[in-house]
Amino acid sequence: MPIEQVEKDLKAVLEYLWHDEKRHYSEGGYSKNHIFRVLKRLAKAVKYEY
C-alpha cells in the first residue's frame, strides 16, 4: 500500500476518534497509558490538523 494511502487512512481514523478520545483522556485524569497519547503521536507523524 502506498505511503500516501496509509497517511490518508490514518487521518480518517484520527478524524473519527479525536474528539471523543480527547474528552475521555481529560475526564480520566490524563492517564499515561490512554489511547489518546498514541493518537497524538500519530497526528504529529501525519501532520493531522486538530
Give the pLDDT band of residue 33 (cuts 50, 70, 90): very high
Q: Quick check: 50 pLDDT over 90?
A: no
- Range of the structural domain that residue 34 is part of: 3-45
DSSP per residue over the chain, as a string? --HHHHHHHHHHHHHHHHHHHHHHHHHTT--TT-HHHHHHHHHHHTT---
Is residue 20 situated within a structural domain? yes
Is residue 50 situated within a structural domain? no
Q: Quick check: 48 pLDDT over 90?
A: yes
pLDDT given at position 22: 97
pLDDT in tens, 3-22: 999 999 999 999 999 999 99
Q: What's the CA gap between 34 and 30, in Å, rounded? A: 7
**Planar angle of CA 27, 28, 29, nearest 5 degrees:** 95
Is residue 26 situated within a structural domain? yes
Question: Cell 501532520 belongs to which residue?
Answer: 47
The count of domains in the chain is 1
Average pLDDT over residues 8-37: 97
Is residue 16 situated within a structural domain? yes
